[in-house]
């Protein structure tokens, strides 16, 4: 019994250490700089033509969509498939941590290590961990066409550029649930400046944002199963038999 207790205590200590080690991005009115981002969609024909496409659906044969990827099940599918295949619009588009400079008027391009691009679509996901249910506002800036989905629903749709990388023209009320909230921000660009930015209300400093500042994402999305069903039971069973 003592061995089992020590093993169980060790597991708890390790798990607690993992929680405290997380380095969440600040929320409040600080611009979000790290995103779980997809390679740029290219050759879109401009932002108006691009807006008519659900690029995630087209590139995965309907396995995920712009809306469904902001649900726990959709994000789980994205984690498993890892990429989106758009033959004529960039090829195999992979996902990774993308860092943007909020003050850069071309941060859609430069966040992918490129010079200013035209006829592109930028995709980025964050997970907002909220300690409670609340209504608050998002403050998006974008050039050109900005779309935002949250928890399976489209909450923002604005074809007009906001006139500056840190200028917000439409603060938008949203509802957050307690726990993980998944948000997708996509922006279509035709030519000229290309930027995408987002922050919350100044009072939202208790929100925690993924990816972490040290570049972790799926490891800390607690609404997703960490192991396949039965894996934990099997592992614990192995421990008990030793």
Residue 21 has a pLDDT of: 54
Domain ranges, ordered by start, for the chain: 24-225
Q: Are strands 91-99 and 172-176 parallel, antiparallel or unpaired?
A: unpaired
Write down the pLDDT at residue 14.
43
Q: In the beta sheet, which residues pair with residue 35?
A: 98
| Calpha distance 39→41 (Å, rounded) | 7
Please tell me the predicted confidence (pLDDT) of residue 224: 85
Report pTM: 0.86
DSSP characters over 96-157:
EEEE--TT-TTHHHHTTT-S--SSEEEEEEEEEEESS-EEEEEEEEEESEEEEEETTEEEEE
**So what's the pLDDT on residue 211?**
98
Residue-level pLDDT at 17: 44
| Segments in the chain below pLDDT 70 | 1-22, 225-242
- The model's pLDDT over 91-107, given as tens digits with 9 standing for 90+, comes to 999 999 999 999 999 99
């Amino acid at each position: 019994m003592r061995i089992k207790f020590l093993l169980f205590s060790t597991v708890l200590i390790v798990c607690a250490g993992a929680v405290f080690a997380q380095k969440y991005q600040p929320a409040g009115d600080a611009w979000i700089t790290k995103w779980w981002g997809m390679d740029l969609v290219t050759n879109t024909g401009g932002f108006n033509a691009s807006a008519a496409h659900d690029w995630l659906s087209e590139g995965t044969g309907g396995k995920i969509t712009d809306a469904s990827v902001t649900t726990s099940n959709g994000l789980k599918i994205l984690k498993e498939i890892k990429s989106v295949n758009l033959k004529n619009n960039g090829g195999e588009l992979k996902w990774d941590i993308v860092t943007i400079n909020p003050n850069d008027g071309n941060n859609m391009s430069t966040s992918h290590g490129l010079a200013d691009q035209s006829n592109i679509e930028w995709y980025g996901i964050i997970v907002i961990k909220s300690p409670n249910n609340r209504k608050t506002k998002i403050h998006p800036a974008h050039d050109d066409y900005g779309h935002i989905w949250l928890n399976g629903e489209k909450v923002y749709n604005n074809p007009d550029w906001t006139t500056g990388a840190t200028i917000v023209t439409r603060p938008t009320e949203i509802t957050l649930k307690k726990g993980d909230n998944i948000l997708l921000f996509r922006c279509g660009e035709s030519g000229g400046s290309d930027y995408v930015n987002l922050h919350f209300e100044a009072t939202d400093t208790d929100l925690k944002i993924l990816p972490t500042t040290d570049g972790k994402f799926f490891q800390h999305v607690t609404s997703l199963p960490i192991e396949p069903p039965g894996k934990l039971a099997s592992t614990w069973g192995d421990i008990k038999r030793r």
